[in-house]
Each structure stands twice: as C-alpha cells, then as structure tokens.
Structure 1
Amino acid sequence: MGMEIQNGAIAAGIKGRVSIVLMVLGLMSCGATDAPTPSVTASQTPAIAADSWSTGEIDSLRQWVRCAPRDALPSPDAGALEAAVASGDQAAIDEAATALALKLARLHLFGTADTAQRAGWRIKDTDTSIDLPSRLRAAISKDDVDGFFNGMRPSHPDYAALRSAYAEETDPERRKTIARNMERWRWMPHSLGSSYVLVNTASFEASLWRNGARQKTWPVIVGKRSTPSPVFSATITGVVLNPWWHIPASIIREKRGNFPARLGYVKTANGYSQKPGPNNALGEMKLVMPNPFSVYMHDTPSKSLFSRDVRAFSHGCIRVGDALNFATTLLDGAKSREEVDQIVETRRTTTVDLPTPLPVYITYFTATRLGDGSFVVEPDIYNRDKRVPATASATDTECSA
C-alpha cells in the first residue's frame, strides 16, 4: 500500500526533498616542504539534503559514469544506483545517485593519486574549499547535471588539449603518459588567476597567461637531473635589475671556495657574493618571488645554452631566455624597455615593483601543448612519471560527456 502511494506521487510528478547521510571523500591540503601532500579519504560523513533525481538526471549521471575513461579516470561502480532504481524507492534512488555523483565529481576535481604518488608536488590545490554537495543540490534543482560535471573538469586549455590527444592516441605508452599529465592537472587549482606565469620544466618553457589565453612564451633552462627544479607556486612582486648573487652554501661546497675576484666575487661574513656585471651568474635581472626553496627565475650570461633541445643545466633555478624582454613584459608598463636598458647600463642594483603581483607556477608536465600550439610528449628527465597513476582503458565510442 505504501509503495502504491509513493509510485502514485512519482507518476504525478511530485518532487520531494529528502535528507540523506553519505560517506564522501575528503582531500588534505598541500603544505610546504614538510607538509603532507593531498590525498583522497572517505572519512567524512556530512548530512546533506538533495532534490529528488528525475529519470533524465539519472540517465545523465549514467552517461558521465560510463564516459569517465575519456578523462583517463576509472568508472565508479554504479551497482548501488541500479539496485535502487530497480527497487523503485525514490529515497534510495536519491541517496545512491547523490553518493555516486559526488564520488565521480571528486575524481574529476582531485584525481586518483594518493599521498605517495603526489610526492614532490607542492602547488596547493585550493579546490578543497569547494562545497560539492551544495553545488550538486543546485545542479539537480536546475536539471543541470551535465553542467555540474563539466565544472569539475580542469578548466585550463592545456587540459583540453591533453584530453583531445588522449582520445586520438593509439600507442599504449604515450597514452599512459598523457593520462598521467591529465591527472597532474587535477592537482592544480581550478583557477590559476586572471594573469599568471606558468613554467613547465619538462618542456623548458615559461609562458605568461592573461585573461585565459597564453600571451607569450620564453625558453628556459632548468635544474640538472642531480639538482631538479622543484614543483611549487609563488608570487612575483617585482624585478631586480643588476642583481647581486648571494651564493648558496651548497654551491660554495661544490666549488670548494674557488671564487676568483676577477669574476666579481667578494668574500662576505656569510660566504661569497658576486657583484652585478656581465659575468654575474644571475645575469642582468632576477624576479622577486619569495619561496622556501630559494629557487628563482633569472637571466644568465650563458646564452648559448638556449640553443640546446634539452636544457637541464642549473642547480634548480629557472634561467630565462631574452630575460630583459621577459622582465619588461611582466612590468606591464611600469618601465619601458628603454628605461630597463638604461637602468641595466648603470650597473646599480634596482628593484622595480610589478603594478600587480603575479602568481607563478613551476610545474612538470611531460605531455603538453607548447607555445607554438603543437602537442608533444617530452622525455621524463626527472623520472617522475612512474609514480603517477595512469588509467588508460578503452573508451566507449558512444560517449558524449
């Protein structure tokens, strides 16, 4: 009798609201060098209220589950949902559909990697602050399940390029590499900012992005295999022209104190420093971008190295080709190139603030779209790919999600 009443209510199109308790996945935030990296857990159990799922919304959810492999993700088990649908119990359907939708959303937003697999990735993922249950409730109330899941995918154009390449790639190993880099994009913040610098150490490129588009790209030299450039984010606040180089203790040990005065080196209370000038290891400019690794973007006197295809020569810092052009572009009108050149000619150390601080992301993507628009799979110079999970299964050809 109770089931007849319930079925009658559903047939009449009455949508009720139900309270459900779900086991949902959480995510730990990235920290500094000694903090744990993000991992997915299933220990949180918030109670949420969700609009009842319509038949059409259930069909959309099924489609997204089936199409998860198109994003190099596993399809979550939909058994509980199908059992609930077979029972005809709307409360059970709502509970199972919401649980499945949140699980799939977290896969798209955060990925599948655990703490060990994310080791060394120290860019904080601010997506942990997103209230997924509230977003899902709003999507169901608007009959917009597709919009909900589309909003969970990484929004960066480079992810879209990876997704397209993944769908077309037939070589199993290249397909795994692309899948691993799609996973890395899920570790990035959903929004990187309206303007930012993105450095990809695997492809030896630095790009300035403004308003969602790549504005310009510069070649870079990155850390040697023995001293790899770390993955992290910082904020660029200014440019130092004619910088002094205060030599790190590790380099002093490596060179055993061999710093000749003819190259501008001077002994200081804390070790050695190098005066501004043509031989300075930092070249004619250095960015102000404080970070716990003491890794900076700067010029270099060794211009010939930019002609190499594989440019891993530094102790970890990022050396930029055409560095004064790079600096002037970031200054965005605060100083013209002529004014920058005039300051450089003085040999006086001068700091010029950016009009607006810029986020910078030092990343590592071994499959990517280059500044010229071409798609490449690069050598894994730091041997980091093998620890990143790769779901490279076949995709349903009828998927439209």
Structure 2
Amino acid sequence: MHIRRLAILLPLLASAAPIAAQQDPVGAGQIVPVAPPPPAMRPADPGAAPLVSPITVSWPKRDAEDLLAYVQRVGEEGLDPADYAPDALRQAIDGGDAARLDSVATQTFLKLSSDLALGHVRGDARIDWHIEDPDLNGNEQYAMMERAVQQHSVHDTLNALLPTHPQYQELKSVLAGTTDAAKRDKIRVNMDRWRWLPRDLGRKYVIVNVPAYSVALVEDGRVIARRRAVAGAVKTATPQLNATISGAIFNPWWEVPASINKEVAGKKGYVRVKVGENGFRYRQPPGPANALGKVKLVMPNPHAIYLHDTNAKGLFDKQMRAYSHGCIRTEDAIGFTGILLEDASLWDTAKINETLASGKTVQANLAAPIPVYITYFTAAAVADKNEVIAYSDIYGRDKPVATALADRSGVTKLAAN
C-alpha cells in the first residue's frame, strides 16, 4: 500500500480491557512486532500528550465510509461517537481532498482501534490498576490498519479488537436495552474495564473481583470453582494486578509488611529479625494464629499481594468483606488449592492433609503455571433478564472512570488529597 509521509496528530492512547462476581459469567495474545516501531508509533504512556505521526495510509472512499459507519455506532460499545470526530471524517470524505481524507481517516482509525483494544480511560482515572494488556502496540496497529484498508475489512478488523469475555457481551446487551442514565453509566464504566484486560486471559486462569469479594477458577470459559473472599480495607486497598500462580506453600510463615511493623512489635508469636544496622522486621511462624492460615499461593508480584487462607474465618460470613491489609483471603483456601494442584500427581488430598498435619513449611508446585487477575468490577450483567447486579464501589473508583469516559482524551487528573 502506498504510504504518504504526512505530519498528522496521533492521539495514540496507552492504557490497557474481565469477572464480575458471585453470579458473574467469567472467561476471555501477545502481538510481537517484527521490527521496532518508529518512535511516533509507540503507544504513549498513560496520560501522556498526543504524539505526531509522520505517516498515514491511503484511504479509498468506501473504506472511509465503513470507518465512519463504525464510529456512528460505537455507542453500542459504551463509547461516545463524538470522541472520534465523525463530522470531520464526513467532511473529509465529501471534500474531495485525498490527502486530507487520508490524514483524518488514519487519525480516526488509530484512536478508535486503541480505545477498542485497550480502553478509552487512562492515566490517573485507572486508580491502582497494574494489569498488563499486550493486545496492541503501535507497530502492529499501523500494519493492521493497512491490512484493513487493503482487504476492505475495516468493520471486521475493529470488531476483532473487542473483548471476547462473555460478561462484556452481557453488559453490551443490557446497555442496548436500558435508557436509565445511572444504569448506563455503571455499565459503560465496567465495559471499559473489560477493555483494560487482555482479550485472552488464558485457557485456565484465576480471577478475583474485589467489589464482589469473589475468587473464581475458570477453565475453557467455565467457572469450575468459586470462593468468597476478603479484600483490602479502604485504607489498605487491594491493587488490581496480574501475576502467575506457580505453586502453594503449606504452613507458611508470614513476613509482616514493614508498614504494619508497629502493630506487631512486642506481641507474642512474632519473631524479630534484624535488618541492617538498626532496623528490624517481623515474621510470624506457622500455627493456629498465623494470619496466612494454612496455605498461601505462590504468585510473585511487585505489590506483595497474594491469595491465602486466614485464621479469621468468621469474616466470610459478612456481606461487606473489606478487612485485609491488601491480600485476598480466600474461603476454603485448602480446598481451592487442592483443585489447583489436581494435575500435580504427588499432591492429592491425602498428601495435602499429611503435609498440613506435619506443621512443616512445604512448597507444592503446580503442574503448569496459572495466570491470576485481581480486578475491580462493580457490575455484572444478566442479559436474559436485562438486569445488572451492582456491587459496592468499595474504594470509590467508579466516578473517576465515568469522568474520564466523558472526556475525549480519556485522561482525568485526580485532585490532590
């Protein structure tokens, strides 16, 4: 395809698009560029200023019309058509200036494809969101646009960027059937959060929805195990992140976070460990009082957030369960771990019980790693009833997302505390 070298504004938006809960229908690739993308084609950091692109694509009128038609109906995906300047594209199509049409259509496609694949909201509005989304990069995005125009497949190409998770489709269906403004806003916020996640969550994965206090194991798109959870308290909110579960530690020691050293200093049942010249940290040995309970999943991540058992099992009976220091306390964690270990031949129920009874700290490795996603969805849809199950917005994260959705750039700066 012929490439014109033009200086066009490229608002290439970096962000990242689910679960939804006790009743949430749960389920959802990495694109590797063949060569480094030119600097202007790399996605910007969340919240960064738009970039200037030196390249554009030659757009036949029929393909530009297809692009405009998609923009005009993008409200079905919970996005605002006005964010993609349909009037400017209409004028460029009708204006007869080929260079102008190429410039406007290229900008529109790049912005729209980025929002469909990675989400419209970015920057500060994604509070404490650390999930990587490899669905699109600048180099692949440009090549994808070229192919879409060459093959006259603009509509299908854009559709292929949408989340595949059933819950996204359920939310979309309910959105189409409601006119209630508050309900629509709730749905749109959570549809964009699905776009922040990878389209492919894996054949088998664990997904946590903090507002629903829910942990689920999904295999081949079907929930095969679900447990209630206790999440981080408001002051110690659970971050949203992805990690890989490689195993479990039975009878774990608890390495007390430095942030709560003062809470345990001097208390019985903690071991003080010297750090450096004058510092100390604390550890809690295995036993009935251990805050991690009898098992902790091995899922290294920079936030030191884990799924684990607990010695405070009465909290699972509460409706609102935001009490932890950030980690996810999992109901029947031993049974849940046993399901994860089913493919590891050594670790049947008898072996697990024997290990727990020994009191020794032992690590059991999974037969294959399992990805885990800790997410924040405040709504799940039940499309056949045209209903939305709403969960409490524990950490007050919906409003910044809704505000950013109403902003063309998708960037919202939060006020300083």
Band of TM-score, shorter chain:
0.7 to 0.9
**TM-fit CA distance, 1:81:** 2.6
Question: 3-state SS of the aligned residue for 1:191?
Answer: coil
Superposed CA deviations along residues 344-366 of structure 1, whole A, max 9, x for unmatched, are 11111110111222222111111
Question: Is it true that 1:78 corresponds to 2:64 in the alignment?
Answer: no
Report the counterpart of residue 319 of structure 1 in structure 2. 329
Structure 2 partner of 1:96: 104
The match for 1:383 is 396
Tell me, in whole angstroms, the C-alpha distance in 2 between the residues paired with 1:109 and 1:205: 26
Instruction: Confirm whether residue 349 of structure 1 aligns to residue 384 of structure 2.
Output: no
Query: How large is the RMSD of aligned CA atoms in angstroms?
Result: 2.7
Give the equivalent residue in structure 1 for 2:194: 185
Cα 1:87–1:120, aligned 2, differ >3 Å: closer, same or farther?
A: same
TM-score, reference length from structure 2: 0.79
Tell me the equivalent position of 1:337: 349
- SS of the residue aligned with 1:126? coil
Q: Distance in 1 between matches of 2:176 and 2:342?
A: 39
Q: AA paired with 1:343?
A: T
Question: Relative to 1, partners in 2 of residues 1:105 and 1:41: Cα closer, same or farther, differing over 3 Å?
Answer: farther
TM-score, normalised with respect to structure 1: 0.82
Q: CA deviation at 1:382?
A: 0.9
Tell whether 2:308 aligns with 1:298. yes
Moved over 4 A (4+): 89-92
Deviation at 1:239, TM superposition (A): 0.4
Structure-2 change in CA distance of 1:85 and 1:274 (3 Å): closer
2:258 and 2:337 map into 1 onto residues whose CA distance is 27
Alignment of 1:115-130 (within 5 A): 115-129=123-137
**Unaligned residue ranges in structure 1 (runs of 5+):** 1-15, 31-35, 393-401
Cα deviation for residue 375 of structure 1 reads 4.6
- Render the CA deviation track for 1:29-65: whole Å, top value 9, x for unaligned: 78xxxxx962364213041444x4353x344322211
Amino acid at match of 1:313: Y
Superposition deviation, residue 301 in structure 1: 2.0
Deviations 1:153-202 (A, max 9, x none): 22222222222222223332232122111222222223323322211111
User: Alpha-carbon deviations, 1:238-266, whole Å to 9, x = none?
Assistant: 100111122223333124532x24xxx44
Distance 2:118 2:314 in 1: 41
Matched, 1:218 2:224: no
| CA distance in 2 between partners of 1:92 and 1:152 (Å) | 26
Partner residue, 1:397: none
For the pair shown, which has the larger CA radius of gyration, 1 or 2? 1
Change (3 A) 1:377 1:242: same
* Amino acid in the other structure paired with 2:244: T
| Counterparts in 2 of 1:77 and 1:49: CA distance versus 1, 3 Å | closer
SS at match of 1:85: helix
Count of aligned pairs: 365
Do the aligned partners of 2:57 and 2:102 also contact (CA within 8 Å) in 1? no
How do residues 215-364 of structure 1 correspond to structure 2 at under 5 angstroms? 215-258=224-267, 260-261=268-269, 265-269=270-274, 270-334=280-344, 335-364=347-376
Aligned to 1:19: 4
Answer whether contact 2:11 2:107 (CA < 8 A) is retained. no
Distance in 2, matches of 1:253 and 1:166, equals 48
CA 1:220 to 1:46, structure 2 compared with 1: closer, same or farther past 3 Å?
A: farther
Whole-Å separation in 1 of the counterparts to 2:99 and 2:234: 56
Say which SS state the counterpart of residue 388 (structure 1) adopts.
Answer: helix
Q: Distance in 1 between matches of 2:313 and 2:106?
A: 57
Deviates more, 1:171-180 or 1:280-289: 171-180
The verdict on how the C-alpha distance between 1:337 and 1:46 changes in structure 2, with shifts beyond 3 A counting, is farther
Change (3 A) 1:123 1:223: same
Structure 1 residues 173, 79: closer, same or farther in 2, change over 3 A? closer
> Residue 45 in 1 paired to residue 53 in 2?
yes
List alignment gaps of at least 5 residues for structure 2: 17-43, 275-279, 407-417
Instruction: Classify 1:201/1:273 alpha carbon distance in 2 versus 1 (closer, same or farther; 3 Å).
Output: same
- Corresponding residue for 1:105? 113
Query: 1:119 corresponds to which letter in structure 2?
Result: I
CA contact (8 A) 2:57 2:106 kept: no
Contact 2:68 2:89 in 1 (8 A): no
Q: CA contact under 8 A between 2:290 and 2:311: conserved in structure 1? A: yes
Aligned AA (1:19): R
3-state DSSP of counterpart to 1:389: helix
